[in-house]
Chains A and B, each alone.
Chain A
């Protein structure tokens, strides 16, 4: 993990509230993998005080030749302006500096033998899924298929679909108001997929999901029923981002084998054993079976 005073290479407005920013940080770029994130200090002053977490959206590692020419390696983030910190970021220009820490966390675990991957995203959840799609497509076995199911409130919340198509991903979109793709939510797309001829029971596609908590909860239900593996990337408010402060957390089930079958968890001590996990250090990507949804 590194702390880098990175240069902003570009900070492009994709739509009124969505931006894509490229940050020059060779150390982080060379070690990052999909699902990991950065903690960005958006102001040199003390307001906003805490760092903001952002998923790594894409990584460009310079070739040896480019390094000689000083065209450096960078990471990209995709962000939505929602409050004070992201507002400050949206005003940054090329050449400005931002202090970032990364790469942080346990990202998506990739099996080299993935044949079919289903990526399920809601809104800004596309941020980490794009880097994942790029990695699945460029690494591992040849014959593979990546399907991306994306949901959003309106067409303005549907980002990057051309980027996904460009790298060979099959994209299906749903919006709640029907302004793009089919009218509905992302779990409708998922149910349709499982009901269609594209899915052969027993073919075990790998599922990966990133988006709002309610969406992840619904997606998990559908996938757990199919008994398919699914990794989900969670969000939580954070302070340190390095596992030290215990403010980020999620309630998880005991690891298989920790408890004898049929144990009912009642006492406080047993609950401690079930444990909370830190989203920043143990996650942000978890197996969907691990999470206890409220």
Chain B
């Protein structure tokens, strides 16, 4: 019998991805930076660096510190703004055949809505990912993503501003992530991605100064994988919408763990820095696993954890 490659396509609400591999926002630039290593159209989706309405310059330097098995970053919200993204970066991505998902950041509910409306009218964008780990300035600097009521509000309002598939990205810096996940689902999210980075810090003992100019930063990389996996498992059990797993995925084995735990797709972040072809290597590794195990459709593997 002729060899039939396994079906790798997955559905994120109305969006069908050719495979479950996405790039994590902020770790893959606007795609073009990695084009000498990866055929962008081979990936399930490219999630670009978080975009705000106006350009932002981000935090002071140093913005990075390597830690054991991970890295802390305090890039902040540095980005070129929606208008320049649309005119300078999007055309290349669309031409490359990539499935483009835009990560959104805002200070206020109004800003998220205005941005969503603007991107809704732009052709070539296949979906939005709402980063709600940004400060809610109106409520005095708390984060939308750590409190269920404000998460509900920002997701609900953005939902009404766009018809594009809406993924909401959750912060792990909360007591019970399932509470936030439920309220985000109720507010109309099409999918949930998790996790964003975990707040951490590092100190230079010679100078007794923080290694990051911002003092604290977000931890990413292999060190956070067990936490991300636990949260994906917890959330996928309590919501009906698809869950996208992110956090410390370095290879195909890591990605498969997330899929078995309940993730319909996965995002590759810090691994891109270590191996610029990580996304493609993970894709090939997953395909090989399915073939070896005689699984002809990846969808049948999602959430099959035996307890």
Residue numbers of A with Cβ under 8 A of B are 1-3, 41, 46-51, 99, 101, 236-250, 268-269, 271-272, 275-276, 281
**Residue from A46, A236, A250 in contact with B222 in the complex, judged by beta carbons closer than 8 Å:** A46
Whether the pair A242, B274 counts as a contact (CB closer than 8 A) is no
Q: A49 contacts which of B33, B57, B62, B70 (Cβ < 8 Å)?
A: B70
| In the bound complex, CA of A71 to CA of B27 (Å) | 38
Besides A46-B222, A49-B274, 6 other CB < 8 A contacts?
A46-B69, A46-B221, A236-B61, A249-B63, A269-B54, A275-B57
B276 in contact with A101 (CB, 8 Å)? yes
Q: Is B55 an interface residue (CB 8 A)?
A: yes
What is the CA–CA distance of A1 and B34 in the complex, to the nearest angstrom?
10
Q: Which residues of A contact B276 (CB under 8 A)?
A: 3, 101, 240, 242
Q: Are B272 and A240 within 8 A (Cβ)? A: yes
Q: Is the CB of A245 within 8 A of B27?
A: yes
What would be 24 A-B contacts, judged by CB atoms less than 8 Å apart?
A: A1-B36, A46-B69, A47-B68, A47-B69, A49-B70, A49-B270, A50-B66, A50-B71, A50-B274, A51-B274, A236-B61, A237-B65, A239-B73, A240-B273, A242-B29, A242-B276, A244-B27, A244-B28, A245-B73, A246-B63, A246-B75, A248-B61, A268-B57, A281-B33
Q: Is the CB of A247 within 8 A of B64?
A: yes
- Residue from B54, B56, B66, B272 within 8 A of A244 (CB atoms): B272
Report the bound CA distance from A3 to B35 in whole Å. 12
Set of chain B residues within 8 Å of A99, measured between Cβ atoms: 275
Tell me whether B58 is interfacial, beta carbon within 8 Å: yes
Task: Check A3/B33 contact, CB under 8 A, given A239-B71, A246-B75, A249-B61.
Answer: no
- Residues of chain B with a CB closer than 8 A to A3's CB: 37, 275-277
Q: Which of B43-99 contact A (CB under 8 A)?
A: 49, 54-58, 61-66, 68-71, 73, 75, 78
B21 close to A (CB within 8 Å):
no
Residues of B with C-beta under 8 A to A236 = 61-62
Number of interface residues of B (CB under 8 A): 37
Inter-subunit contact B274/A41 (CB<8 Å): yes
Most B CB contacts (10 A, CB to CB) among A99, A249, A271 go to: A249
A249 cross-chain contacts in B, Cβ below 8 A = 61, 63
The chain A residue sitting closest to B37, CB to CB, is: A3
B115 at the interface (CB under 8 A from A): no
B285 within 8 A of A: no
The A/B interface has a contact count, at CB < 8 Å, of 100
Between A3, A41, A242, A276, the greatest number of chain B beta carbons within 10 A of the residue's beta carbon is seen for A242
**Nearest A residue to B66 by beta-carbon distance?**
A50
Please classify the interface of chain A as helix (H, G, I), strand (E, B), loop, or mixed, using the class held by over half of its residues. Answer: loop
A49 and B75 contacting across the interface, CB-CB below 8 Å: no
Q: Is the CB of B29 within 8 A of A243?
A: yes
**B210 interface residue per 8 A CB criterion:** no
Partner of A46, one of B34, B55, B274: B274
Task: Give the CA-CA distance A247 to B72 in the complex, in Å.
Answer: 10
B189 at the interface (CB under 8 A from A): no
Q: Say which residue of B26, B57, B61, B73 sits within 8 Å of A272 (CB atoms).
A: B57
Let me know if A244 and B34 touch, CB within 8 A: yes
Known pairs A101-B276, A247-B63; A276 contacts B58 (CB<8 A): yes
Residue of A242, A247, A272 touching B56 (CB-CB under 8 A): A272
9 smallest CB-CB distances across A and B, nearest first, come from: A244-B29, A247-B64, A244-B33, A239-B273, A247-B63, A1-B36, A240-B273, A242-B33, A243-B33
The minimal Cβ–Cβ distance linking A86 to chain B, given in whole angstroms, is 13
Contacting residues, chain A, for B71 (C-beta < 8 A): 49-50, 239
Q: Mark B1-42, 1 if CB is under 8 A from A, else 0.
A: 000000000000000000000000011110001101100000
Residues in A whose Cβ lies below 8 Å from that of B37: 1, 3
Q: Which residues of A contact B75 (CB under 8 A)?
A: 245-247
Measured CB to CB, the closest approach of chain B to A7, in angstroms, equals 19
Q: Is B250 an interface residue (CB 8 A)?
A: yes
What distance in Å separates the Cβ of B18 from its nearest Cβ neighbour in chain A? 22
Complex Cα distance, B33 from A241, in Å, reads 10
Complex Cα spacing A61 to B155, Å: 57
Which residue of chain B lies nearest to A268 when distances are taken between CB atoms in the complex? B57
Most chain B Cβ neighbours within 10 Å, of A1, A3, A46, A281:
A46
Q: Is the CB of B274 within 8 A of A247?
A: no
Q: Collect the chain A residues with CB atoms within 8 Å of residue B272's CB.
A: 240, 244
CB distance from B37 to the nearest CB of A (A): 6
A176 to chain B, nearest CB (A): 20
Residues of A within 8 A of B28 (CB): 244
CB of B125 to closest CB in A, whole Å: 19
Q: Which residues of B contact A245 (CB under 8 A)?
A: 26-27, 29, 73, 75, 273
